[in-house]
Structure 1
Amino acid sequence: MRKLLLLAGVAMCWALPATAQSGLEGRVGKLEGEMRAVQRKVFPGGAGAIPSVEPQITGAPAPGRDIGSPATTPITDLTQRVSSLEQQVASMTGQIEQSQYRLRQLEEQFAAYRKEMDARLAGTAPISDTGGPAEGSGGPATSTPASRPETPARKPEAAAPAPGKDPARAKLVAAVEKPASGQADEDDYIYGYRLWQAKLYPEAAAQLKKVVAEYPKSRRASFAQNLLGRSYLDDGKPSLASIAFYDNYKKMPDGERAPESLYYLGQSLMKLNKPADACKVYGELADVYGAKIGAQMQADITRARTAAKCK
């Protein structure tokens, strides 16, 4: 009877480590699965290309043993593996969370900058100038350097005479030839351009507004909106010109004359004695259209930034 009890006790002693080992094996399997999932997120590349990650904190090297001494028990080995995996998962999870937090901060800062720029540009008023790119039927645009600010004082914009009421002016308008190529958007734009060339600015503005309204999908819409701003500038209406330039950039950013509109907006800010805002506009122009800006405009932007003392 005593022998049977002794054998039963020995069996129970052997069964306890086996049960503990089985529980640890489950923990190890779960942690190793989590570790592989984290590695896939940090090192994307598919299931066979996941690099191994060495533990950042490892246990102290095992002390030397004399020959014939017993080896480390399976439970001790599993415990060390669990501790190592837990440390790796915690470290990599913390790094991912930090990266995501920095990314959110950058996105919020960029959104705030965009909102500020929209608010600033919406309230600016361009200036009139006598030079700049020709708005003809096609070729690449050229631009004139930005002039230095004169005085911050602004004169009220005079109301333009109603087109067609002055017989002498009506005669000048009638002298402007209307194109008849058969392509409506092209003909209407060229007619507005010719009115602008003849310095008939109110009539040109009315014609160019018509082009933008009736042919919003035409490539000439960007040309017409930009030339509308130029017409207002040359007619001494900087506030209206500001709206026209800003709308061209915001509503048709891919249009062929969007860079020129942004450039003239920067010039207007210099005229209004707002060099800091002008520098932001020139920076926006370089960031958005850097690859599309020709050598002449690049030179003009450089001179304008120097005049504004941009950093």
Structure 2
Amino acid sequence: MTLFNSSAKPRAVLIGALAGLLVTTGTPAVAQDGDEARIRKLEAEVRALQRRVFPGGDGRYFEPEISSSQSGGATNAAQTTAVTDILARLDALESSIQTLTGQVEQVTNTQRGFEARLSALESATVPRTASNTSGSGTTTQPRTTTTPTPTPAQSSGPSAERLAAVRAITKPQTDDAGDDDYSYGFRLWEAELYPEAQQALAAFVEQYPNHWRTTYGRNLLGRAYLDNGQAREAAPWFLQNYQADNDAARAPDSLLYLAEAMIELGDTDRACIALAEFGETYPAIAAGRLSDQYEANRRKVSCSN
């Protein structure tokens, strides 16, 4: 492949050699056999690469091949046709290789950008434990798993009024037990009974990790923390919901709420990262269903992009 990517000099040498063979021999077909096989091999390799980069390609990336003359004309005309055919096919190969190289680099750079953003966001939402000191005197700062831990109910116990409010929330009883659990957590959150909603929703997402409501459950669990003034506890749930499946129903919401949690924590850099990721990943939603919330969050911070 490097033969056609470096400069015009190797190509000139190849063409000069071919021309010399054609002039000094009266049977150009014999001299062309080896070069024809090499060119066909290169064309096959480029097509294979195109099929990997562009699955389902229809061959449109090559110009039509110029077939050599079969009319049995004069020797000079046959030689000219053979050289022209080789030049045209070399041009097609060079053009295809350059196009593929540029597009592969673009895809790679885009993927690296997304990975860097996610790493930055994840580092902000991982809870940190107290520093540990090893026997050698070296202080380390260990990090726990990104899986959030529910906050237990208040140790002093709920008041009679609180208990009465919780008992007033009924749990649905349908054929879908998972949906019933989520709906119960939703009703608690809607009643602003946030600690109870946190417990109910955490139990739901743990028991039903593959339920169709799970994306709703993780997102609402994050909101139950955020609405209770616990932005640091909310952020890991939002990030986890987005990372689990960014095509899920509430993945866009979680990414936008993650930006809100970062804003509340005063982390402008990561808030801007989350907002940029939201705008690039979900442009239609940013301009539609969540446009008001998106623009409101953008007005709260000053981002460079």
Q: Equivalent residue for 1:88?
A: 88
Equivalent-residue separation in structure 1 for 2:58 and 2:170 (angstroms): 65
Equivalent-residue separation in structure 2 for 1:185 and 1:164 (angstroms): 31
Q: Secondary structure at the match of 1:124?
A: helix
Q: Equivalent residue for 2:234?
A: 241
Q: Equivalent residue for 2:144?
A: none
Alignment of 1:11-26 (within 5 A): 20-22=25-27, 24-26=28-30
Residues 77 and 183 of structure 1: CA distance in aligned 2, closer, same or farther (over 3 Å): closer
Q: Give the drift of 1:239.
A: 1.8
Q: Equivalent residue for 2:278?
A: 285
Unpaired segments ≥5 residues, structure 1:
1-16, 55-71, 127-158
Residues 125 and 272 in structure 1, CA contact (< 8 A), matched pair in contact too: no
Residues 179 and 191 in structure 1, CA contact (< 8 A), matched pair in contact too: yes
Q: Give the drift of 1:270.
A: 2.8
Q: Equivalent residue for 1:179?
A: 172
Which sits farther off after the overlay, 193-202 or 162-171? 162-171
Amino acid at match of 2:30: G
Residues 263 and 285 in structure 1, CA contact (< 8 A), matched pair in contact too: yes
Alignment of 1:64-103 (within 5 A): 74=75, 76-103=76-103
Residues 117 and 277 in structure 2, CA contact (< 8 A), matched pair in contact too: no
Amino acid at match of 2:245: M
2:157 to 161, 165, 190: 165
Tell me if 1:205 matches 2:195. no
Equivalent-residue separation in structure 1 for 2:81 and 2:29 (angstroms): 10
Residues 192 and 205 in structure 1, CA contact (< 8 A), matched pair in contact too: yes
Q: Equivalent residue for 2:116?
A: 116
Q: Equivalent residue for 1:138?
A: none
Q: Deviations over 1:31-79 (max 9, x none)?
A: 567479849949x7579x963569xxxxxxxxxxxxxxxxx972x4454
Q: Report % sequence identity.
A: 25
TM-score, structure 2 as length reference: 0.64
Tell me if 1:195 matches 2:188. yes
Q: How many residues are paired up?
A: 242
Residues 125 and 268 in structure 1, CA contact (< 8 A), matched pair in contact too: no
Q: Give the drift of 1:301.
A: 1.7
Residues 262 and 285 in structure 1, CA contact (< 8 A), matched pair in contact too: yes
Unpaired segments ≥5 residues, structure 2:
1-21, 51-56, 68-72, 127-150
Amino acid at match of 1:117: R
Equivalent-residue separation in structure 1 for 2:230 and 2:260 (angstroms): 15
Q: Secondary structure at the match of 2:26?
A: helix
Alignment of 1:240-279 (within 5 A): 240-279=233-272
Tell me if 1:51 matches 2:56. no
Equivalent-residue separation in structure 2 for 1:289 and 1:165 (angstroms): 43
Does 1 or 2 have the higher relative contact order (CA < 8 Å, sep 6+)? 1
Q: Secondary structure at the match of 2:290?
A: helix
Larger CA Rg, structure 1 vs 2: 1
Amino acid at match of 1:183: D
Equivalent-residue separation in structure 1 for 2:260 and 2:235 (angstroms): 11
Q: Give the drift of 1:163.
A: 6.8
Equivalent-residue separation in structure 1 for 2:265 and 2:211 (angstroms): 33
Equivalent-residue separation in structure 1 for 2:65 and 2:207 (angstroms): 62
Equivalent-residue separation in structure 2 for 1:230 and 1:201 (angstroms): 9
Q: Secondary structure at the match of 2:210?
A: coil
Coordinate RMSD, CA, aligned: 3.9
Equivalent-residue separation in structure 2 for 1:37 and 1:164 (angstroms): 76
Q: Secondary structure at the match of 1:263?
A: helix
Residues 219 and 256 in structure 1, CA contact (< 8 A), matched pair in contact too: no
